[in-house]
Structure 1
């Protein structure tokens, strides 16, 4: 594992700005900028409240030192007024921040999902195996974390800079009220409290950076291993029936244990580094509470500084020190943000690489109603060795083609290549078909929704009359599903393998393609029923320009 350099942090900053900028220049820019300005304005108001409290501390402790009861009560009422302002500003800042966060997250998630689902990009990333792991985590969790951390760090940095400018002026004035005295001598050092805070913060920042640099790669690895473990759990849930029938629970438990062991090893490495960082940062923060009073206590005890000035100077010093120590107090958050930015940047780069790559098998449009392929070579992912080769192939309108081969002969891969989805294919192809369609061995059912929506996927269910959908179900032998056609249920779990294949045929009847690929589409049905459904397709789709391709392991 490499240790990130200062340049890696600078790169993370540039990548973070590149990720954030598009939203504020998008079609939502007016609202985005207004909300962001609102968050910043409320942060500045919080700094103003801190300045008011600082002045209040001076007057309040002066009243205590002078035992002035009337002034004490007046200051208490002033504090109540400041408190009302604090509650209002803090509450509205949280609300506006949440408003900006959810809008920004929606825009960014939609954009990433759109690029990920731009044609077969998502499938090519999966097949090639060299893309980022767990795209779902990138779009869901990393975008959420990026937006949260970007707002938090940006607002915090602006607040720190404004707070520094405000309290440096106050601390400089207080330094003039009580000149530095040491060993009985007075030293003419204008703004000595400011210089002391600056030196204290610089030393702390340098040490924090040296100790905390390894946190960034550890955070990246932690997220990857968390995602692997989570994916393994989802895999067990989705394939519960197969695991139960094979009695593979012990094997699955061992696999989960191995993944969690890897997660634990990185967690302990992360914990050790965070422990080292915490030893310093907590010591630094604890010492900072008394550091300004150690500097000013000789003046107070010598009678050259009142209690009010001492407390106000201590508070101002704390604000200056906190502003100058922003890197120290935010280092863990910065490391987390750098890890999130790195993962999102890698994800975007992988998507763009697959989008810009030429279509695996360029398919030239032609006016002729047919499909021709020459010199097709389909490669395997990873090593790219050919898994299927076709010297020449031509299918004209109305023709049928039966592809027969042993398991693993590459029959399905040929279909994927000619459909333009398989990334490792070469050759020449031309097609005049406009509505190609594939019925696979296991018809895909989208997540959630009604059976009608599942049946008509990916069409808009409103475009197809309910009666047409019902008729298609009856034609393929799914009469029992006509009544619950509009019912929302987990249909991918409720239907048997044979019912899902019948549903795939019904979907083809409604889509009405001009070329149809049948990839083991009847393998879970009796042979005579498969022949019946194939005949149904030919009768019900007379306008189809090409009859199906039938891909089977054996003749039947």
Structure 2
């Protein structure tokens, strides 16, 4: 029962925002009401269809040709109503699915992108695996199954309510002979259906309950395998150069092995579940026939064989409503796995926001044109201290070089200044109304036009075409000027050095007041790097430039040097180079 309550709460948490707070809620309610109206039409047609069984069968039993023709016309009318309703319902439900998916995907993307959640989810090693799959696939599966099962349940409830009255009336008129004794009582058909439904549902649940966890794992293994394939495609050159195809093939087969092994577990559990499910469903029709057989052969059923057909159809309808969860168990188990994955995504996003809200790194704005680190102890996501700094000031127009061993936390310092690293304690003051830009060692170039990649994240229309072309010339990429409107995967087409040049061109266009280079020229040869820095110092005389670098040739382009000095315990402290020499 606790699991059922938890599931209902999860469904409410995932679905309620769309139906209560979204701007599409009025349209959504109109669509669902139209669908329910068609559902009522279907139910009424089925009620009349139940009565039709009695008259159609009796037409044959009585050899009544006129009644037969009348019932044939009635059947065509019922069939037309059911067919038209099915088509319209499919269209309405498809429209609702698209509208809901658009809104829900936008909301999840907001949660993922808000306040750098996507970055924190990655660096904290959060249990939310493959968020891309949850947004692209799981949302669609959740909505499709929600609409399908909710509307099916509503339809079953409506049909149950109507056919319940029919069965109640029939229970009063038809005896239940077992062992020569009439065991009938008011509503006995309903009680039999309820007991049988409870028994079959309990059995199917006991057999199939592991499907929820198995389906959850299946989606995770499939996503891991797909992600590994994408990684191979994106790093194909490096793999080819290292002759790593055999290693990658073996690694991919291990991932596929997880998929196959779990698939067999799913198939095995589904086979057992479906064996019981199908077998018990086959017995549904036999139950009422066995119970009514003695009364029919004793001639105690008014209406004869036609009444038997009507009772059987009504009993089956009520039983279908009672056994809704049993007959839909496999699909519901898959849906439950999707619900768990989307709920985990929301929980992880909330946890990420809590990490940010509870961060003890306080970054404020001040009127001075300088970056001041009063004190800083930045931790790894695990809580272990990584770097520290105190009374560090970077003033307007300075050119500062940051040096230190690989893994000394130089990039972490830039992340803290960029306000994307919440782990640690400290106080920093940033200049008000100043533009800050950080260029990483591996630039991000979105798939699309080259001009959009250069101007990212600003729209290309923000800059004039001559300015964009000049920025390319300044970074020695003039040959790409004719290709500015070409659509491509530029991370694959450009070399590492060319990608870094594009990033510098981006900085020239953005013209920040504070520009941070995180080894952003490391893929260039030293002469090219020198030419680029000379150009930057000429174009951005008033900008503050802070560079992380290991080459001694960078020293001449900077006024001062900050060193990451190793401390006892493996942590690092940022100090001025002159101060470091004293130790």
Coarse TM-score class (shorter-chain normalised): over 0.9
- How high is the TM-score relative to the length of structure 2? 0.90
CA contact (8 A) 2:395 2:544 kept: no
Segments of structure 1 that go 5 or more residues without pairing to the other structure are: 1-5
Q: Which residue of 2 aligns with 1:53?
A: 49
Match runs of 1:44-443 below 5 Å: 44-305=40-301, 306-357=304-355, 358=357, 359=359, 361-382=361-382, 384-432=383-431, 434-443=434-443
1:478 matched to 2:477: yes
CA distance in 2, matches of 1:101, 1:72: 43
Q: Which residue of 2 aligns with 1:3?
A: none
TM-score, length-normalised on structure 1? 0.94
CA distance in structure 2 between the partners assigned to 1:122 and 1:262 by the alignment = 26
- 1:513 shift after superposition: 0.9
| TM-fit CA distance, 1:187 | 4.2
**Aligned position for 1:549:** 546
- After superposition, the C-alpha distances for 1:197-227 in whole angstroms (9 at most, x for unaligned) are 2221121122222222222222222222222
- Cα distance per residue 1:350-408 (max 9 Å; x no partner): 111212333463211111001011332332334x3333332331111111100122222
Query: CA–CA distance in 2 between the matches of 1:405 and 1:198?
Result: 74
Query: Would you say the 8 A contact 1:181–1:187 is kept in 2?
Result: yes
Aligned counterparts of 2:408 and 2:475: Cα–Cα separation in 1: 30
Contact 2:177/2:291 (<8 A) preserved: no
C-alpha separation in 2, matches of 1:537 and 1:56: 87
Residue 571 of structure 2 corresponds to which residue in structure 1? none
**Whole-angstrom distance in 2 between the partners of 1:41 and 1:537:** 69
**1:502 aligned residue:** 501
Q: What is the number of equivalent residue pairs in this alignment?
A: 547
The reply on whether 1:12 has 2:11 as its aligned counterpart is no
In structure 2, distance between residues paired with 1:71 and 1:499: 85
CA RMSD of aligned residues (A): 1.7
Distance 1:187 1:261 in 2: 58
In 1, the alpha carbon distance for the partners of 2:190 and 2:58 equals 23
1:513-549 CA-partner distances (Å, limit 9, x unpaired): 110001112222232222222222233235x5x4211
Q: 1-side partners of 2:444 and 2:9: how far apart? A: 41
Separation of aligned partners in 1, 2:375 and 2:268 = 58
Alpha-carbon displacement from aligned partner over 1:41-63 (angstroms, at most 9, x marks no partner): 22222222221211111111110
Q: How has the CA–CA distance of structure 1 residues 228 and 451 changed in structure 2, closer, same or farther, with 3 Å as cutoff?
A: same
Match of 2:445 in 1: 445
Query: Which digits, 9 at most, give the CA deviation of each residue in 1:260-280, with x for residues without a partner?
Result: 222333323322322222221
Q: Distance in 2 between matches of 1:257 and 1:290?
A: 49
Q: Which residue of 1 aligns with 2:461?
A: 462
